[in-house]
């Protein structure tokens, strides 16, 4: 199938929900992907913060192949050693006690919301409201698009689930005003990703935690984008010296094999009993083996320190560009390898020009260029992206 045939088949038969870039990708290696014509691109989007180890990482490929050769799936009616190992590992890394494995970020959040409501209802009938932030992103299922504080994602899907309210991100007074006995949880991203790479002021998340404690509500961190090393620590909440009651993961966790997870403290997790939640595929041996391989490589190759170091380097270089192009760049934000550059105009043209020059980035919230390269990215690769960005910016 040539490029035109692929695009025509998609146009004819795929649900028309994606605004895709005109590139047909075929394979990848490290931080580079290749299209059907063999053109190389530096991949600083990494499947939207998913390919934590880059493409075709030998250790991940081997773990997947080995596991596929033994058993891909067996249902959660049986125990498997790989799933038990992954649960043990995630509990140890997070300091939380219990894990549930799902297949996506939205499913992880959906499960977390169910757990928080079950926990709340046991405390007091009606304690089921979830407070989240404006400009947040928590997924596309009916409950998670209600948790998502962006009305554009909810439009047209009535009747919508109830029991959600919203506050401006970073605004403690607004959150305080929303707290009440009926609130079972506050759900926040430690850094807003899709919403435009918004980093809260130091101390905000710790104050939110204190507010939750004062009102008998749970704190849920959606670390689907920030987790698994993206910000230079395994979990972004570690930067704040606090621990949530529930944390959700997905994107980078299995390096591209579909997975989601929610983790909770024992006193919360015990609100669930047999039959309260489930999943056919969730945490199957293939996905569990892939996640274990990702965690092994992060540890063996010190990728947390690497993400921190490369993030600082990249952020400095982006700031240099911001200084060079003050009319085009408003601000550089982010932490580790979750970086955003807010422009004074729409970013799609710049993204397309970068792609023509062999660099894949994307734009979120209309005018925020987002950089989420694999955690294995090198200085040389960052330098190349900075050179291309400078060329593209000069043409603006």
Ligand X SMILES: *Cc1c(COP(=O)(O)O)cnc(C)c1O
Nearer to ligand X by Cβ, of 193 and 374: the residue is: 193
47 binding ligand X? (CB under 6 A) = no
User: Tokens representing 130?
Assistant: 């979830």
250 binding ligand X? (CB under 6 A) = yes
Block residue for tokens 């009993």: 273
Instruction: Tell me which of 100, 137, 164, 237 is the catalytic residue.
Output: 137
30 binding ligand X? (CB under 6 A) = no
User: Tokens representing 353?
Assistant: 């020009």
**Long-range contacts from 144-150, C-beta under 8 angstroms, 24+ separation:** 144/106, 144/109, 144/110, 144/113, 147/109, 147/113, 147/187, 150/195
DSSP 48: H
Instruction: Tell me which of 118, 127, 222, 314 is the catalytic residue.
Output: 222
Stretch that binds ligand X, among 35-43, 218-226, 236-244, 294-302 (CB under 6 A): 218-226
Going by C-alpha positions, the residue among 104, 89, 49 that lies closest to residue 289 is 89
CB of 103 to ligand X, least distance (A): 8
What gap in Å lies between CA 50 and CA 257, rounded to an integer? 9
Helix (H, G, I), strand (E, B) or coil at 255: strand
For 160, list phi and psi in degrees, rounded to 5: -100, 150
Stretch that binds ligand X, among 82-90, 133-141, 231-239, 377-385 (CB under 6 A): 133-141
205 binding ligand X? (CB under 6 A) = no
Among 31, 188, 189, 257, binds ligand X (CB under 6 A): 189
83 binding ligand X? (CB under 6 A) = no
Stretch that binds ligand X, among 29-37, 56-64, 105-113, 231-239 (CB under 6 A): 105-113
171 a catalytic residue = no
CB of 224 to ligand X, least distance (A): 4
Nearer to ligand X by Cβ, of 224 and 254: the residue is: 224
Q: DSSP E strands: which ranges in the chain?
A: 25-29, 32-35, 40-43, 98-102, 129-133, 164-167, 183-188, 218-222, 246-249, 260-264, 329-335, 338-343, 359-360, 362-364, 368-371
222 a catalytic residue = yes
CB of 390 to ligand X, least distance (A): 28
CB of 16 to ligand X, least distance (A): 18
Among 51, 67, 80, 104, binds ligand X (CB under 6 A): 104
Q: Which residues bind ligand X (CB under 6 A)?
A: 104-106, 109, 137-139, 189, 193-194, 222, 224-225, 250-251
């Amino acid at each position: 199938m040539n490029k035109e045939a692929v695009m025509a088949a998609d146009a004819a038969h795929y649900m028309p929900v994606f605004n895709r870039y005109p590139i047909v990708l075929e394979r990848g290696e490290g931080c580079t992907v290749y299209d059907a014509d063999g053109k190389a691109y530096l991949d600083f989007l990494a499947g939207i913060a998913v390919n934590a180890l880059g493409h075709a990482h030998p250790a991940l490929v081997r773990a997947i192949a080995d596991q596929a050769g033994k058993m891909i799936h067996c249902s959660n009616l049986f125990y498997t050693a790989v799933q038990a190992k992954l649960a043990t590992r995630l509990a140890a890394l997070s300091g939380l006690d219990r894990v549930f494995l799902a297949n996506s970020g939205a499913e992880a959040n959906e499960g977390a919301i169910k757990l928080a409501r079950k926990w709340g209802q046991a405390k007091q009938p009606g304690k089921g409201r979830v407070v989240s932030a404006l400009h947040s992103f928590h997924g596309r299922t009916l409950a998670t698009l209600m948790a998502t504080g962006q009305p554009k994602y909810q439009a047209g899907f009535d009747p919508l689930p109830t029991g959600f309210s919203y506050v401006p991100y970073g605004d403690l007074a607004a959150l305080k005003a929303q707290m009440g006995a009926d609130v079972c949880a506050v759900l926040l991203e430690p850094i807003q990703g899709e919403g435009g790479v918004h980093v809260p002021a130091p101390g905000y998340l710790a104050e939110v935690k204190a507010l939750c404690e004062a009102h008998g509500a749970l704190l849920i961190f959606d670390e689907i984008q920030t987790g698994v090393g993206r910000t230079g620590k395994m979990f972004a909440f570690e930067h704040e010296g606090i621990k949530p009651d529930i944390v959700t993961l997905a994107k980078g966790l299995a390096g591209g094999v579909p997975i989601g997870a929610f983790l909770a403290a024992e006193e919360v997790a015990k609100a669930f009993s047999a039959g309260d939640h489930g999943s056919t595929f969730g945490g199957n041996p293939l996905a569990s083996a892939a996640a274990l391989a990702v965690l092994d490589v992060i540890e063996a190759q010190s990728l947390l320190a690497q993400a921190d170091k490369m993030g600082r380097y990249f952020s400095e270089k982006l700031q240099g560009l911001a200084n060079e192009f003050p009319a085009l760049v408003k601000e550089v934000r982010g932490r580790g390898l979750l970086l955003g550059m807010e422009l004074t105009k729409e970013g799609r043209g710049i993204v397309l020009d970068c792609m023509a020059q062999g660099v894949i980035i994307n734009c979120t919230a209309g005018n925020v260029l987002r950089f989420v390269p694999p955690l294995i990215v090198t200085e040389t690769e960052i330098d190349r992206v900075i050179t291309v960005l400078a060329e593209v910016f000069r043409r603006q």
